[in-house]
């Protein structure tokens, strides 16, 4: 029981439940209908919860990659640009604009896009692990250049595609549930196996807590950092593919715009400390679902979507303050003072 | 006697040389490039970025980061356009928006310093919040028709140099004044030296008796102030307020500072360097336009340049560490 209480997953899980329940109550009062209503059409489930699951999966995938990087006390702010690159590579191949010898093979397109993502991650890894550049600065290079590279691939145009097989990545269903959900689940399982069954998980935590002492105690810090940034690059590429399959094309200027912020937000919501150390993929995934829930709720209630950003900001501030021991101590001080006055 | 080469002045030297080389190269290659008006236009088009980059330099010098500046700038533009549209006097609007920007910076600095929250995260919240508030004020672009703004925006000094006309808008002088004041403050005042001291080593600065808390909150307030002043200049530049203005400007400001020799770990850098960083980005943009290339080449070139400067800084830093050892 104590172990359960102390686990990282419990807080974001409760937060998600509370947010959803609050929405349900509010929605019933305002519209007299259930927020959770799920209907069955053509053997697929439809409803807001399914929407959250489908659209939230992108954030889940991104957050899993981001969790690893943040747990090493690093950051990767280039993920949005990597998404744009991967999306434009995949869409250009499917549309036979580049590499026409593949005849628009979707499988090959996805594979190559993921490879490109790995390459981007390797570049970040090179700067961070080899040259010891600060992660924010190192990944800023790709953030600036990434969209330019994506435009280079797609020749500065918005690539629209016409391939049912590619659409299936985002719009398809399996056993009534959307495909992105399964992709996210698969990635989550892989990430957990990678960190729990190998030494990587321990190495990540150790690097995050103190990279210098990790190195002295024999952990191959730079090799591990390479692996972590490459993994994050692949995850970003996968997110880009799912996103482009959803909008049926790649728009290099807008694909993945500000996603780095959402990714970091998801991880922060999950409770992984942003200055490294303890981490949990499951709680990041829950955090990602919270991020999506905020957007879905705002649409469901008919509030202007621009307000989403304000809500996100407020939530970040609340979470940061709740994580800050100094703030909590001050808060306690205020309440105990009030209590003593009342007494 | 030659001054010792350090991380700061090597980068600054390279930046200035690069700027001159680019200008000379451009003048040889293109007609009408090598004129005073090209230089003046760099200032005209980038005055707001120079101001923002100057404020950013203060934050970076203490080893922090402020990614909310672009949203702060946009919010200033939108709010002032909105209020002017409601027939508020410009003399009320300008101090008000500057105060709001400064206060936003102060608030973020307070959270960072007092509650020990990572600067990146709290300014990220600021970025979201201010950008969201822009949309709350107005989602459509509001034109500014205020007479005071218009006269300030359009008044300029014209020169007749060598047969070509060059013009410098008045708001450029705001930017130059900001750089000059910032340079003076950093170099010759107590506060300026404190900023460097905190950035070099926070613990030893604290032990020396410097009020680290005050300095760190102050730099975020300065960054907020310069972001909103940049917003004021930008609203003169475009004479409109739009909620999606200048997405990603924070990175332009940071990369300008890095190109100009500011170390993101803090303690090293100058505002003059940051100004040259902005001008280099501007001249790349100009060359890309002259060459009739797609604008994304600008981004790729800037990124390559950024990479080059970061690697140089690392090499110098590693050599310095070895020498110490």
| Per-residue model confidence as pLDDT tens digits over A200-230 | 888 898 898 888 898 899 888 999 999 999 9
Closest chain A residue to the Cα of B113, Cα to Cα: A326
Closest chain B residue to the Cα of A123, Cα to Cα: B307
Helix, strand, or coil here: A24? helix
Q: What is the pLDDT of residue A85?
A: 94
What are the structure tokens assigned to A88, written together? 């434009």
Residue B5 has pLDDT above 70, yes or no: no
Burial zone of A194 (CB within 10 Å; 0-12 exposed, 13-18 middle, 19+ buried): middle
| Per-residue model confidence as pLDDT tens digits over B166-196 | 888 989 999 999 999 999 999 999 999 999 9
Closest Cβ–Cβ partner in A144, A275, A309 for B299: A144
Q: Which residues of A6-18 are buried (b: 16+ CB within 10 A; e: fewer)?
A: eebbebbbebbee
List CB contacts of B5: < 8 A, sequence separation 6 or more: none
Length of chain A: 343
Contact B233, B51 (CB under 8 A): yes
Length of chain B: 325
What are the structure tokens assigned to A103, written together? 């005849």
* Structure ipTM over 0.85, yes or no: no
What are the structure tokens assigned to A80, written together? 């949005």
Q: Report CB contact under 8 Å: B129, A137.
A: no
Residue B214 has pLDDT above 70, yes or no: yes
Cα separation, B311 vs B325, in Å, equals: 21
Q: DSSP E strands: which ranges in chain A?
A: 38-41, 44-47, 159-160, 173-174, 177-178, 249-250
Q: Report CB contact under 8 Å: A140, B251.
A: yes
Beta bridge partners of A250: A159
Residue A315 has pLDDT above 60, yes or no: yes
List CB contacts of B256: < 8 A, sequence separation 6 or more: B49, B53, B56, B274, B275, B277, B278, B280, B281
| Per-residue model confidence as pLDDT tens digits over B118-171 | 888 888 889 889 988 998 888 888 998 888 888 888 888 887 776 677 888 989
Domain ranges of chain B: 7-324
Helix, strand, or coil here: B254? helix
List CB contacts of A326: < 8 A, sequence separation 6 or more: B114, B115, B116
Phi first, then psi, for residue A313 (nearest 5°) are -60, -45
Q: What is the pLDDT of residue A125?
A: 94
For chain A, what is the mean pLDDT? 85
Q: DSSP E strands: which ranges in B125-248?
A: 142-143, 156-161, 164-169, 240-241
Domain spanning A58-330 has what CATH number?
A: 1.10.3470
B-chain CB neighbours of A144 within 8 Å are 251, 255, 299, 302-303, 306
| Per-residue model confidence as pLDDT tens digits over B92-126 | 999 999 999 999 999 999 999 988 888 888 888 89
Residue B276 has pLDDT above 50, yes or no: yes
What are the structure tokens assigned to A31, written together? 């519209």
The topology under which CATH files domain B7-324 is ABC transporter involved in vitamin B12 uptake, BtuC (1.10.3470)
Percent with pLDDT over 70 in chain B: 96
Contact B180, B275 (CB under 8 A): no
Closest Cβ–Cβ partner in B128, B251, B302 for A312: B128
Cα separation, B101 vs A55, in Å, equals: 35
């Amino acid at each position: 029981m104590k172990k359960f209480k102390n686990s990282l997953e419990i807080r974001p899980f409760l937060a998600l439940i509370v947010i959803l329940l609050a929405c349900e109550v509010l929605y019933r009062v305002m519209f007299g209908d259930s927020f959770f209503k799920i209907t069955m059409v053509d053997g697929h489930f439809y409803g807001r919860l399914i929407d959250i699951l489908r659209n939230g999966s992108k954030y889940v995938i991104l957050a899993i990659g981001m969790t690893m990087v943040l747990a090493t006390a690093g950051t990767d702010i280039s993920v949005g640009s990597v998404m744009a690159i991967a999306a434009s590579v995949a869409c250009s191949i499917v549309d036979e604009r580049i590499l026409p010898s593949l005849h628009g093979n979707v499988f090959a397109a996805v594979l190559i896009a993921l490879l490109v993502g790995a390459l981007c991650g390797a570049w970040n890894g090179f700067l961070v692990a080899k040259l010891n550049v600060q992660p924010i600065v190192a990944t800023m290079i790709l953030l600036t250049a990434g969209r330019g590279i994506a435009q280079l691939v797609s020749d500065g145009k918005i690539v629209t595609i016409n391939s049912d097989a590619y659409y299936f990545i985002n719009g398809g269903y399996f056993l009534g549930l959307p495909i992105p959900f399964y992709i996210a689940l698969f990635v989550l399982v892989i990430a957990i196996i990678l960190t729990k069954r190998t030494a990587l998980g321990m190495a990540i935590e150790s690097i995050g807590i103190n990279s210098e002492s990790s190195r002295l105690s024999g952990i191959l810090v730079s090799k591990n950092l390479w692996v972590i940034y490459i993994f994050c690059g692949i995850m970003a590429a996968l997110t880009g593919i799912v996103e482009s399959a959803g909008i049926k094309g790649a728009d290099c200027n807008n694909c993945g715009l500000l996603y780095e912020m959402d990714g970091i937000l998801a991880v922060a919501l999950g409770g992984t400390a942003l200055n490294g150390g303890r981490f949990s993929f499951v709680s990041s995934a829950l955090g990602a679902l919270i991020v999506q829930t905020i957007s879905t709720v705002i649409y469901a209630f008919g509030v202007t979507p621009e307000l989403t950003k304000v809500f996100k900001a407020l939530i970040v501030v609340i979470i940061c303050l709740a994580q800050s021991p100094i703030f909590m101590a001050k808060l306690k001080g205020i309440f105990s003072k009030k209590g003593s006055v009342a007494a | 006697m030659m001054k010792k080469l350090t991380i700061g002045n090597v980068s600054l030297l390279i930046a200035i040389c690069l700027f001159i080389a680019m200008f000379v190269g451009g003048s040889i290659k293109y007609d009408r490039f090598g004129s005073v008006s090209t230089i003046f236009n760099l200032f005209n088009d980038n005055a707001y970025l120079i101001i923002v980059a100057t404020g950013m330099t203060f934050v970076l010098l203490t080893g922090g980061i402020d990614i909310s500046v672009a949203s702060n700038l946009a919010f200033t533009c939108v709010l002032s356009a909105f209020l002017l549209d409601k027939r508020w006097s410009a003399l009320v609007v300008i101090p008000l928006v500057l105060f709001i920007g400064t206060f936003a910076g102060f608030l973020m600095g307070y959270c960072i310093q007092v509650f020990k929250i990572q600067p990146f995260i709290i300014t990220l919240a600021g970025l979201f919040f201010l950008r969201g508030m822009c949309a709350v004020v107005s989602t459509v672009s509001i034109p500014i028709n205020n007479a005071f703004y218009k006269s300030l925006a359009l008044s300029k000094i014209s020169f007749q140099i060598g047969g070509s006309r060059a013009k410098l808008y008045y708001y450029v002088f705001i930017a130059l004044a900001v750089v000059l004041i910032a340079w003076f403050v950093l170099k010759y005042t107590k506060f300026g030296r404190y900023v460097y001291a905190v950035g070099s080593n926070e613990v030893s600065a604290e032990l020396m008796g410097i009020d680290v808390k005050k300095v760190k909150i102050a730099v975020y307030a300065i960054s907020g102030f310069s972001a909103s002043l940049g917003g004021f200049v930008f609203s003169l530049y475009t004479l409109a307020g739009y909620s999606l203005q200048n997405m990603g400007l924070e990175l332009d400001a940071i990369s300008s500072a890095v190109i100009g020799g500011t170390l993101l770990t803090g303690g090293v850098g100058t505002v003059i360097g940051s100004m040259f960083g902005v001008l280099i980005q501007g001249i790349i943009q100009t060359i890309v336009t002259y060459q009739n290339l797609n604008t994304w080449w600008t981004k790729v070139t800037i990124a390559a340049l950024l990479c080059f400067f970061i690697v140089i800084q690392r090499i110098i830093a590693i050599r310095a560490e070895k020498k110490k050892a």
